[in-house]
């Protein structure tokens, strides 16, 4: 498989995975918002749940923003003529590496904030 075909195949797989992840995050945020609204309408103090929800959504949005920047940097690296513009290619690859390095901590933060969210959910269910 030629290198360009490899990158195009990788980009297609990455786009599908990103779309699936985005849909899952959107569904989750809608469900959380509905839960907070329902609890509040029933007179339940959902303040802690709302705070945890807001932090979780902020973390998700940070991840999605960084993932989009990573995708843009990868798209740049893929389209640059590495022989004709080696400096531009190197800059694009370095930019992509910088954005990719942010994704791991973003995911770790989302996972970390699942604990207070789960705790707030369990407290509001009692």
Higher-confidence residue: 13 or 51? 51
Give me the pLDDT at residue 108, please.
92
Could you report the per-residue pLDDT of 5-18, keeping only the tens digit for each? 666 676 777 778 87
Task: Work out the percent of the chain whose per-residue pLDDT is above 70.
Answer: 90
Could you say which DSSP state residue 45 is in? -
Does the pLDDT at position 50 exceed 80? yes
Q: Is 79 helix (H, G, I), strand (E, B) or coil?
A: helix
Give me the pLDDT at residue 59, please.
92
Task: Compute the distance between CA of residue 113 and CA of residue 52 in angstroms, rounded to an integer.
Answer: 7
Q: How confident is the model at residue 25 (pLDDT cuts 50, 70, 90)?
A: confident
Q: What is the mean pLDDT of the chain?
A: 84
pTM of this structure: 0.76
Could you say which DSSP state residue 1 is in? -
Give me the pLDDT at residue 3, please.
53
Task: Work out the percent of the chain whose per-residue pLDDT is above 90.
Answer: 21
Residues 34 and 74: beta-carbon distance below 8 Å: no
Does the pLDDT at position 105 exceed 90? yes
């Amino acid at each position: 498989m030629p290198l360009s075909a490899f990158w195009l195949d990788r980009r297609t797989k990455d786009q599908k995975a990103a779309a699936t992840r985005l849909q899952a995050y959107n569904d989750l945020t809608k469900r959380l918002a509905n839960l907070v609204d329902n609890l509040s309408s029933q007179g339940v103090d959902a303040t802690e749940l709302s705070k945890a929800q807001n932090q979780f959504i902020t973390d998700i949005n940070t991840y999605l923003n960084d993932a989009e920047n990573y995708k843009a940097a990868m798209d740049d690296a893929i389209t640059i003529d590495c022989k004709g513009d080696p400096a531009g290619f190197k800059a694009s690859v370095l930019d992509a590496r910088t954005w990719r390095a942010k994704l791991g901590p973003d995911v770790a933060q989302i996972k970390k904030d699942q604990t207070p969210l789960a705790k707030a959910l369990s407290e509001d269910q009692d």
